[in-house]
């Protein structure tokens, strides 16, 4: 797959953080190919690999390389030209720089990089961290701000300072603070994209000016999630609200237990992957949630 020109990437629309299928403890390449073929035919605007939904922290370097190359190859076979971003995280700036160097030849178009976890650096520390990373690659970077996972929140003053770097093109916003998110949307430069990573907030964030969303729930009813943004872009606010109300319960269902186990269970029962397997410390869904997912699948099929 020819890479999308780095300076042409303006993140927006519906991006899918792809689940990573496993079977018997290994990367399930057959299911991965099937997944990519399926979503290559859906109205998504970008793919994220090996991030939270993709269980990236459980993948070793060899598996991650295979994941990336197989995905890029299947997209090429499908003739679908999509931005492909690779998820990275870490609390040692030097190690993340080395990860950027190791992946320099991979067929990816950019990176989604989480704020440093556990160490809880200062705002200045995070500015220096992301500045060093952006200076270490020619590819675009989206910041992943998710304080309820990392333990640290990148505030808007620091975010806006980082938005001035030419390689930092946007943020996956999971601040869980609507006031912070709306304030960022008011003050961000035009070239800096805010994509919500809170599935349940997709519609309100889009109405406030977000460029799009990185939405794990869009593994199911992908076209319905894409339609919400399409209707808003067409100026049909009432239609977008109606479309959103038809799907707004899916995030609640798919995040009723730790993600991505519910999404994988759904994909398995829908025949898109051959096993709902997750890697410890993640565990499969409970019998109760499995039954709820089954009922919802039956409803959609009827």
Read off the pLDDT of residues 232-259 as tens digits, 9 standing for 90 and up.
999 999 999 999 999 999 999 999 999 9
Task: Say what the alpha-carbon torsion angle 35, 37, 42, 46 is, to the nearest 10 degrees.
Answer: 80
pLDDT at 302: 86
Residue 90, phi-psi category: left (phi > 0), alpha (psi -120 to 50), beta (remainder): left
Cα separation, 105 vs 65, in Å, equals: 10
Distance of CA 124 to the CA centre of its chain: 26
CA–CA dist 164, 131 (Å, integer): 10
Any domain includes 149: yes
Count of domains for the chain:
1
Active-site residue (options: 95, 117, 118, 172): 172
Residue 283: count other Cβ atoms within 10 Å of its Cβ.
11
Alpha helices in the chain, H assignment, sequence order: 29-40, 61-78, 93-102, 123-134, 147-150, 156-162, 178-187, 202-207, 222-233, 237-247, 250-254, 261-269, 287-301
What local confidence, expressed as pLDDT, does residue 8 receive?
A: 63
Is residue 289 included in any domain, yes or no?
no
Within a domain: residue 49? yes
State yes or no: is 188 an active-site residue: no
Q: Identify whether 46 is part of a domain.
A: yes
Summarize pLDDT for 175-198 with one digit per residue, the tens. 999 999 999 999 999 999 999 999
Inside any domain, residue 191:
yes
Q: Which residue stretches of the chain have pLDDT < 70?
A: 1-8
Is residue 144 part of the annotated active site? The answer reads: yes
The token pair at 62 is 């060899």
CATH number of the CATH domain containing 183:
3.20.20.70
Alpha carbons 120 and 1: distance in angstroms, whole number: 38
- Report the C-alpha gap between 299 and 30 in whole angstroms: 28
Residue 177 forms part of a structural domain = yes
Query: Binding residue per annotation — 53?
Result: yes
- Which 3 state secondary structure label does DSSP give 114? strand
Does 182 reside within a domain? yes
Rounded to whole angstroms, the Cα distance separating 237 from 116 reads 38
The answer on whether 273 is annotated among ligand-binding residues is: no
Of 39, 144, 188, 264, the catalytic one is 144
Structural domain boundaries enclosing 220: 6-248
The angle formed by the CA atoms of residues 251, 210 and 172, to the nearest 5 degrees, is 65
- Cβ distance 205 to 176 under 8 Å? no
| Residue 290 domain-assigned (yes or no) | no
């Amino acid at each position: 797959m020819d890479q999308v020109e780095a300076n042409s990437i303006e993140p927006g629309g519906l991006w899918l953080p792809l689940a990573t299928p496993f079977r018997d403890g290994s990367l399930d390449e057959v299911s991965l190919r099937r997944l990519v073929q399926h979503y290559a035919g859906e109205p998504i605007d970008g793919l994220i690999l090996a991030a939270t939904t993709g269980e990236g922290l459980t993948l070793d370097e060899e598996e991650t390389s295979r994941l990336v190359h197989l995905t890029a190859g299947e997209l090429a076979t499908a003739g679908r030209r999509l931005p492909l971003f690779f998820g990275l995280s870490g609390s040692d700036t030097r190690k993340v720089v080395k990860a950027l160097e190791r992946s320099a030849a991979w067929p990816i178009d950019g990176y989604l990089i989480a704020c440093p976890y556990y160490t809880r650096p200062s705002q200045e520390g995070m500015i220096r961290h992301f500045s060093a990373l952006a200076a270490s690659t020619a590819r675009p970077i989206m910041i992943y701000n998710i304080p309820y996972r990392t333990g640290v929140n990148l505030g808007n003053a620091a975010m806006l300072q980082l938005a001035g770097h030419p390689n930092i093109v946007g943020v996956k916003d999971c601040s869980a603070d609507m006031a912070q998110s709306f304030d960022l949307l008011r003050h961000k430069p035009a070239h800096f994209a805010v994509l919500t990573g809170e599935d349940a907030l997709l519609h309100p964030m889009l109405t406030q000016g977000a460029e799009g969303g990185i939405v794990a729930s869009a593994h199911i009813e992908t076209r319905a999630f894409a339609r919400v943004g399409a209707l808003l872009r067409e100026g049909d606010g009432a239609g977008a609200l109606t479309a959103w109300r038809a799907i707004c319960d899916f995030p609640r269902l798919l995040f009723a237990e730790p993600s991505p186990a519910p999404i994988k269970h759904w994909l398995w029962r829908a025949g898109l992957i051959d096993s709902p397997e997750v890697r410890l410390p993640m565990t499969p869904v409970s019998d109760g949630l499995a039954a709820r997912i089954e009922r919802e699948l039956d409803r959609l099929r009827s």
